[in-house]
């Protein structure tokens, strides 16, 4: 039976080969979702290895946080941009899990994720969840959780408004756009906890700041930030 199944799988792959979601070349061997060539073109930031990195500097003085980092660099023609496009706009949930796993593995080298009590994905509006089918930040958090068993809190912080696109706004416009976009619905489970805010890309930090300011209403909470990517244009 196993031989028959293997033969059927090989025949299916012959006519419907698995393709890399970044370059659309055929995947080979043990490659999943993204080929090795494309992974080699995605540049890790190593921000988790030093405290005052670009993410921390961008957020410093805006709100209190313990530590902050991003896993990879992002720009508009990068492999990471194509991967995120698959996750956010083409319904490819699996690539988000894989990206979350890679992010967690990068941070394990110096125990950066030690002592985190729970993951809080940046909430998405109900309208966008209905359109996409999921919250991409939650999917990234699930990928992190697959490597490091940390609980995911999806209910304490919610998005109350479907804000305008941030793409063409400057820093101050983004901050104004995000004001009162999030609401703390439940705080008991977060008291005296060290939480990790998880998001896809950090550009100006306006979204993260809005989330953190709402979470800081919780007694004794400690906040750290981890995003998949850091936009180098900003």
147 confidence band (pLDDT: 50, 70, 90) = very high
Cα–Cα distance, 2 to 105 (Å, whole number): 33
Cα–Cα distance, 73 to 80 (Å, whole number): 8
Q: Where are the beta strands (DSSP E) in 95-221?
A: 118-121, 151-152, 157-159, 182-184, 194-202
Model pLDDT, residue 4: 46
- Count of domains observed in the chain: 2
Cα–Cα distance, 211 to 180 (Å, whole number): 9
The model's pTM is 0.86
Same domain, 161 and 50: yes
Same domain, 169 and 83: yes
Cα–Cα distance, 130 to 75 (Å, whole number): 27
Same domain, 90 and 138: yes
Same domain, 15 and 69: no
User: What count of other Cβ atoms lies within 10 Å of the Cβ of residue 33?
Assistant: 21
To the nearest whole percent, how much of the chain has pLDDT over 70? 86
Same domain, 174 and 213: yes
Same domain, 62 and 170: yes
User: What count of other Cβ atoms lies within 10 Å of the Cβ of residue 129?
Assistant: 15
Same domain, 222 and 205: yes
Mean pLDDT estimate for the chain:
87
Same domain, 105 and 176: yes
User: What count of other Cβ atoms lies within 10 Å of the Cβ of residue 9?
Assistant: 10
Model pLDDT, residue 104: 96
Residue 66 has pLDDT above 60, yes or no: yes
Identify which of 222, 224, 210, 138 has the alpha carbon closest to the alpha carbon of residue 179: 210
Cα–Cα distance, 160 to 180 (Å, whole number): 8
Same domain, 164 and 103: yes
12 confidence band (pLDDT: 50, 70, 90) = very low
- Helix H or strand E segment including 117: none
Same domain, 108 and 28: no
Model pLDDT, residue 161: 84
Q: What is the tens place of the pLDDT at every residue in 103-140?
A: 999 998 889 999 999 999 999 999 999 999 999 999 99
Domain that includes residue 17, residue range: 1-38
CATH classification of the domain holding 115: 3.40.50.2020
Identify the sign of the CA torsion 57, 59, 65, 70: negative
Same domain, 77 and 3: no
Place of tokens 């593995």: 105
Work out the end-to-end distance of the chain between its first and last CA atoms, rounded to an integer number of angstroms. Answer: 56
Question: Alpha carbon 5 to chain centroid distance?
Answer: 36
What integer is the mean pLDDT of 33-40?
85
Same domain, 120 and 24: no
């Amino acid at each position: 039976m196993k031989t028959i199944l293997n033969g059927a799988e090989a025949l299916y792959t012959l006519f419907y080969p698995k393709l890399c979601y970044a370059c659309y070349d055929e995947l080979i061997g043990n490659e999943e979702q993204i080929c090795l060539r494309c992974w080699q073109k995605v540049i890790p930031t190593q921000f988790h290895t030093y405290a005052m990195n670009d993410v921390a500097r961008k957020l410093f003085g805006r709100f209190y946080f313990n530590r902050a980092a991003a896993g990879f660099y992002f720009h508009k023609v990068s492999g990471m941009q194509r991967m995120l496009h698959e996750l956010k706009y083409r319904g490819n949930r699996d690539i988000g899990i894989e990206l979350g796993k890679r992010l967690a593995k990068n941070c394990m080298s110096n125990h950066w994720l030690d002592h985190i009590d729970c993951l809080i994905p940046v909430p998405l509006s109900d309208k966008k969840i209905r359109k996409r089918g999921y919250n991409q930040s939650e999917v990234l958090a699930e990928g992190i959780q697959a490597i490091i068993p940390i609980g995911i809190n999806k209910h304490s912080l919610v998005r109350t408004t479907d804000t305008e696109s941030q793409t063409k706004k400057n820093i101050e416009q983004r901050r104004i756009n995000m004001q009162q976009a999030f609401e703390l619905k439940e705080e008991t489970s977060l008291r005296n906890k060290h939480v990790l805010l998880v998001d896809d890309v950090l550009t100006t930090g306006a979204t993260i700041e809005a989330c953190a300011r709402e979470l800081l209403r919780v007694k004794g909470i400690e906040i750290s930030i981890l995003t998949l990517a850091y936009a180098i244009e900003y």
